[in-house]
């Protein structure tokens, strides 16, 4: 009896403590500041905290050094955390009392909706970012009022180098298989895969444990449908659909390639890094991956490493910028914005390129002839000429990466077909953007 009374007391206490809706009240951050911004920094000593991930942070570390030399009154503390942990903890850390001033934003997610980062439009205007970057590059970080539709609205992050996904190939293996010119269309690409198979090689290396087959699907899809249409879907704009001829072809092709033995049988049990290792050891003539692995592939394959934008008359690529946002809680937003502006300076551009990213200022990209980096810069140029850069399908909603992982695994294992795949992806999209 006593126990039950004590328990009842505990229940009461707990309920009193929780008897309101969880979470902060709406619009905790209040109105955004407006009016003109202070450009540059004063002589006052300022300390900024910047958080990033090791991959993306490699460049920013040297940018910080260059910045601190130029503006010694500013100290920038750098911290990083592995991608998985970083993405999971970012919102909590931005909402906490120890929020960083500047934070890497890998996807918009709910970060903007929850008012955790500042609208940078005022700074963009003051620093003329619209003129520095092509619109397709900034649009990925524009978020509409609803907090989930991208491509229009306020700007919430500034780019610090770009990534792009295309096709790596092993020049020696391709030559041995009789593939003399790089394929320029999907049909030619399939012919090349067939030739590679005939030559006894694995045509297309793939690791799909983390769902990277979605890269190949998106590239086939958007090169058929056009970058503009594909971008509408990744941006979550009203009326867009995944059920397009391009995406259907993509799912069809992928299952066909699996059946023909163009893909490794163990793809679903192989993660990206293992697939990269296998490709660098000569298993696979082609490999769809991003420029973040360029250094590793270039080091191991040397002169044999090549890279092309996905074969298509109009070049497209999946790509996004490494982008930094300013916390709503930052007390030194002006200084932080000044640092963001520094990210496209020649010094910063050179550092970004050294770390494998395509810099805003392409004159800073001086790759050596015959290297894979040279190929990547060429592909990047082609893609921008055709205005073909599209953000990752995986970032279309907070859960899209998980959904793409699960459904591409099902697709490769014949557990679903093109209809089921396209429907599952569109249904997931509708949950957020419908």
**How far apart (Å, rounded) are the C-alpha atoms in residues 343 and 359?**
9
In angstroms, give the least distance from the CB of 97 to other proteins. Answer: 14
**Does residue 410 bind other proteins (CB under 8 A)?**
yes
> Distance (Å, rounded) from C-alpha 186 to C-alpha 286?
13
Site string for other proteins, 28-67 (x = CB under 8 A): ----------------------------------------
Sole window of 234-242, 301-309, 330-338, 402-410 interacting with other proteins (rule: CB under 8 A): 402-410
Taking Cα atoms as reference points, which of 304, 260, 257, 255 lies closest to residue 279?
304
Residue window 304-343: x/- pattern of binding to other proteins, with contact defined by CB under 8 A: ----------------------------------------
Q: Is 48 exposed, middle or buried (0-12, 13-18, 19+ CB in 10 A)?
A: buried
Give the CA distances from residue 414 to residues 77, 127, 137, 249, 421, in Å, rounded to whole numbers and listed in that order.
49, 52, 37, 16, 11
Stretch that binds other proteins, among 18-26, 52-60, 191-199, 325-333 (CB under 8 A): 18-26
Looking only at residues 193 through 222 of this chain, which bind other proteins when binding is defined by CB under 8 A? Answer: 208-209
DSSP string, 229-296: HHHHHHTT-TT--S--HHHHHHHHHHHHHHHTT-S-TTGGG--HHHHHHHHHTT--SEEEEEGGGHHH
User: Judged by CB, which is closer to other proteins: 125, or 431?
Assistant: 431
Q: Which of 47, 73, 110, 185 binds other proteins (CB under 8 A)?
A: 110
Residues 6+ apart with CB under 8 A from 111: 90, 91, 94, 105, 117, 156, 325
Of the candidates 140, 268, 151, 291, the residue with the CA atom closest to the CA atom of residue 214? 268
Question: Most distant CA pair in the chain: distance in Å?
Answer: 86
Q: Does 26 bind other proteins (CB under 8 A)?
A: yes
Q: Are 206 and 275 in contact (CB under 8 A)?
A: yes
Rounded distance, CA 51 to CA 326, Å?
A: 11
The CA distance from 91 to 109, in Å, is 9
Tokens of 82: 């592995």
CB 251 within 8 A of CB 412: no
**Options 70, 413, 419, 427; binder of other proteins; rule CB under 8 A:** 413
Q: Which is nearer to other proteins, 86 or 339 (CB)?
A: 86
- Exactly one of 405, 421, 425, 433 binds other proteins (CB under 8 A); which one? 405
Query: What separation in angstroms does the CA of 35 have from each of 27, 120, 122, 368?
Result: 20, 12, 8, 46
Binds other proteins by CB under 8 A, chosen from 88, 260, 281, 366: 88
Minimum CB separation of residue 275 from other proteins in Å reads 11
Between residues 402 and 419, which has the closer beta carbon with respect to other proteins? Answer: 402
**Gyration radius (Cα) of the chain, Å:** 23
Least distance from C-beta 4 to other proteins, angstroms? 12
Per CB under 8 A, does 148 bind other proteins? Answer: no
Identify whether the C-beta of residue 390 lies closer than 8 Å to the C-beta of residue 218. Answer: yes
Of 77, 146, 187, 402, the one binding other proteins by CB under 8 A: 402
CA 34 to chain centre: 30
Query: Tokens at residue 176, please?
Result: 């041995």
Q: Does 266 bind other proteins (CB under 8 A)?
A: yes
**Would you say 327 or 384 has its CB closer to other proteins?**
327
CB of 1 to other proteins, least distance (A): 10
Cα–Cα distance, 69 to 429 (Å, whole number): 46
Residue 23 binds to other proteins (criterion: CB under 8 A): yes
Question: Is 91 a residue that touches other proteins (CB under 8 A)?
Answer: yes
Nearer to other proteins, 116 or 317 (CB): 116
Give yes or no for residue 11 binding other proteins (CB under 8 A). Answer: yes
Least separation in angstroms between CB 25 and other proteins: 6
2 binds other proteins (CB under 8 A): yes
Q: Is 426 in the site for other proteins (CB under 8 A)?
A: no
Give the residues lining the site for other proteins (CB under 8 A). Answer: 2, 6-7, 10-11, 13-15, 17-18, 21-26, 87-88, 91-92, 95, 109-110, 113-116, 208-209, 265-270, 274, 398-399, 401-402, 405-407, 409-410, 413, 415
């Amino acid at each position: 009896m006593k126990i039950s009374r004590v328990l009842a007391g505990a229940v009461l206490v707990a309920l009193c403590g929780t008897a309101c809706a969880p979470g902060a009240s709406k619009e905790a951050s209040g109105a955004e500041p407006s009016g003109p911004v202070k450009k540059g920094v004063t002589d006052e000593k300022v300390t900024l905290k910047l958080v990033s991930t090791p991959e993306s942070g490699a460049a920013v570390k040297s940018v910080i050094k260059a910045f601190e030399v130029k503006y010694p009154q500013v100290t920038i503390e750098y911290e990083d955390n592995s991608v998985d942990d970083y993405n999971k903890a970012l919102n909590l850390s931005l909402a906490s009392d120890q929020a960083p001033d500047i934070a890497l934003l890998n996807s918009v997610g709910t970060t903007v909706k929850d008012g955790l980062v500042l609208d940078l439009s005022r700074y963009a205007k003051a620093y003329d970012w619209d003129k520095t970057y092509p619109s397709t590059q900034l649009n990925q970080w524009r978020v509409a009022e609803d907090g989930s539709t991208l491509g229009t609205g306020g700007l919430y992050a500034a780019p610090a180098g770009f990534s792009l996904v295309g096709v790596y190939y092993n020049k020696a293996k391709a030559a041995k298989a009789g593939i003399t010119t790089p394929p320029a269309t999907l049909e030619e690409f399939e012919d090349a895969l067939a030739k590679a198979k005939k030559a006894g090689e694995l045509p297309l290396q793939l690791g799909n444990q983390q769902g990277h087959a979605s890269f190949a699907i998106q590239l086939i899809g958007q090169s058929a449908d056009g970058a503009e249409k594909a971008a509408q879907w990744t941006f979550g704009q009203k009326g867009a659909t995944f059920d397009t001829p391009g995406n259907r072809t993509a799912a069809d092709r992928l299952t066909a390639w699996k059946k023909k033995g163009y893909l490794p049988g163990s793809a679903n049990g192989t993660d990206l890094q293992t697939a990269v290792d296998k490709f660098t050891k000569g298993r696979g003539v082609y490999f769809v991956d991003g420029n973040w692995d360029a250094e590793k592939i270039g080091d191991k394959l040397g002169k044999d490493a090549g890279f092309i934008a996905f074969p298509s008359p109009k070049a497209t690529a999946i790509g996004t910028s490494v982008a930094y946002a300013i916390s709503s809680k930052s007390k030194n937003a002006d200084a932080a914005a000044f640092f963001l502006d520094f990210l496209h300076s020649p010094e910063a551009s050179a550092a970004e390129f050294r770390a494998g990213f395509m810099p805003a200022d392409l004159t800073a990209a001086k790759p050596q002839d015959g290297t894979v980096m040279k190929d990547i810069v060429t592909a990047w140029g082609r893609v921008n000429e055709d205005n073909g850069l599209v953000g990752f399908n995986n970032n279309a909603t907070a859960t899209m990466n998980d959904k793409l992982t699960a459904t591409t695994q099902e697709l490769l294992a014949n557990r679903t077909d093109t209809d089921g795949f396209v429907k599952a992806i569109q249904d997931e999209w509708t949950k957020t953007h419908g």
